[in-house]
């Protein structure tokens, strides 16, 4: 059978109704950031349910929500609120997400104005150097003195006896 | 059953199509997106059921179910983006077509000939996603379904056998509609 005949027959079979493939793919891409996070929470909830031997129905009862809502959460399709996450955490007696402590994060990881800070430290060191050098000279003299004293023999207490 | 267009030229002769089975909410290609990107529970249940295959060593060292879900979603994104790119560029002469993404289904069948049953594979770390399709023309493919393949042969698992059966059923349908003839069918039977 010729290719053109085959494609002509095929064309007649194709529905006018398009697939939802592209719209679903577009939906995923547009909402990827929260969908990926929602999926991670869903997997953690599923793991917690398995570990604790709880059913989805048990979870719905503990959270006081519908089975449909739990179903949506477990699919990773729910744009979760803090309220829902807290309900999940309470029901499962586990932590599902971690909020970074803003102040602690700043103290530990702040690398802004690094160049300015390094330069300031160098200026302070430079300023302190003359005093440090003077101090070093004093210490060196003291050390030399101590060494000389050790070399000089002590006078005998019996010299004149 | 219907054949629905995904990426197609205006004349609906070239591009990527999918079958939409009766009593199903979505066509087979869209179901792959739903299962692999938009339904964590589906993946969790699947990998729980097939945990022995996951730990068999066929895809390297054993990994946890959450890791397997993560790998699947990464591969799915890559696979769909590749299909999209090729389907769009394939409509321009001289560019890569869908034929460069789909490979012959049978291991011994190296040449890509028209009307083959083919599968699209990806080139990333864990390559267990499969999209099955029938090739009608150089840049005309009909998706018949998709599966997560954690074993070497399709005959080893029921969900893969179902996909194989679907390929056969669609070939019969296309034959009845006069698109495939008897010779084509005999040559390309799995």
Report the pLDDT value the prediction gives residue B126, as an integer from 0 to 100. Answer: 67
Q: Coil, strand or helix: which one is B90?
A: coil
A14 in contact with B, Cβ within 8 Å: yes
B38 in contact with A, Cβ within 8 Å: yes
Average pLDDT score over residue span A88-99: 92
A131 in contact with B, Cβ within 8 Å: no
B66 in contact with A, Cβ within 8 Å: yes
Average pLDDT score over residue span B32-46: 97
Phi, psi (degrees; rounded to nearest 5) at B31: -60, -35
What is d(CA A134, CA A130) in angstroms, rounded to the nearest whole number?
Answer: 6
Average pLDDT score over residue span B35-61: 93
Helix, strand, coil fractions of chain B, as percent rounded to 5? 40, 20, 40
Q: What is the ipTM of this complex?
A: 0.83
Architecture of domain A23-98: Orthogonal Bundle (1.10)
Chain B: residue whose CA lies nearest to A45 = B41
Helix spans in chain A (H): 3-13, 21-30, 32-52, 56-63, 67-75, 82-92, 102-109, 114-151
pTM of the model: 0.75
Chain A: residue whose CA lies nearest to B27 = A19
Report the pLDDT value the prediction gives residue B83, as an integer from 0 to 100. Answer: 83
Percent of chain B at pLDDT exceeding 90? 39
Taking the domains of chain B in order of start, what are their residue ranges?
A: 2-187
Residue A153 pLDDT > 70, yes or no? no
Q: Do B4 and A14 touch (CB under 8 A)?
A: yes
Q: A-chain residues within 8 Å CB-CB of B138?
A: 3
Give B72-105 pLDDT, tens digit per residue.
Answer: 999 999 989 888 887 776 655 555 667 777 777 7
Which residue, among B19, B29, B16, has the nearest Cα to B89 in the 3D structure?
Answer: B16
Give B120-179 pLDDT, tens digit per residue.
Answer: 655 556 689 999 988 888 888 899 999 999 988 888 899 999 998 998 899 889 888 888
What is d(CA A31, CA A45) in angstroms, rounded to the nearest whole number?
Answer: 21
Taking the domains of chain A in order of start, what are their residue ranges?
A: 23-98, 120-151
Average pLDDT score over residue span B112-117: 52
pLDDT tier for residue B43 given thresholds of 50, 70 and 90: very high
């Amino acid at each position: 059978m010729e290719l053109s005949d085959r494609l002509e027959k095929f064309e007649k079979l194709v529905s006018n109704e398009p697939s939802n493939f592209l719209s679903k793919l577009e939906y995923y891409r547009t909402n990827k950031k929260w969908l990926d996070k929602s999926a991670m929470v869903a997997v953690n909830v599923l793991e917690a349910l398995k570990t604790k031997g709880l059913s989805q129905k048990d979870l719905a009862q503990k959270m006081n929500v519908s089975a449909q809502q739990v179903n949506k959460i477990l699919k990773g399709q729910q744009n979760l609120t803090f309220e829902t996450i807290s309900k999940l955490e309470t029901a499962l007696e586990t932590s599902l997400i971690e909020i970074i402590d803003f102040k602690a994060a700043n103290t530990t990881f702040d690398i802004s104005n690094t160049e300015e800070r390094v330069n300031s430290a160098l200026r302070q060191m430079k300023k302190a150097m003359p005093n440090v050098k003077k101090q070093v000279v004093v210490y060196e003299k003291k050390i030399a003195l101590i060494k000389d004293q050790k070399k000089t023999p002590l006078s005998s207490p019996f010299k004149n006896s | 059953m219907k054949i629905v267009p995904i990426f197609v030229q205006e004349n609906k002769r070239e591009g990527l199509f999918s079958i939409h089975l009766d009593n199903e909410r979505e066509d087979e290609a869209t179901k792959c997106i739903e299962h692999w990107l938009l339904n964590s529970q589906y993946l969790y249940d699947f990998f729980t059921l097939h945990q022995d295959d996951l730990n068999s060593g066929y895809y390297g060292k054993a990994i946890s179910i959450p890791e397997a879900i993560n790998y699947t979603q990464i591969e799915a994104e890559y696979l769909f983006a590749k299909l999209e790119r090729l389907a769009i560029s394939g409509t321009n002469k001289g560019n890569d077509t869908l034929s460069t993404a789909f490979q012959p289904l049978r291991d011994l069948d190296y040449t890509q000939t028209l009307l083959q049953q083919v599968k699209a594979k990806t080139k990333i770390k864990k390559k267990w996603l499969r999209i099955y399709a029938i090739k009608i023309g150089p840049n005309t493919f009909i998706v018949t379904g998709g599966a997560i393949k954690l074993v070497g042969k399709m005959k080893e698992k029921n969900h893969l056998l179902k996909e194989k059966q679907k390929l056969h059923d669609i070939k019969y349908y296309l034959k009845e509609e006069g698109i495939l003839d008897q010779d084509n069918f005999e040559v390309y039977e799995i």
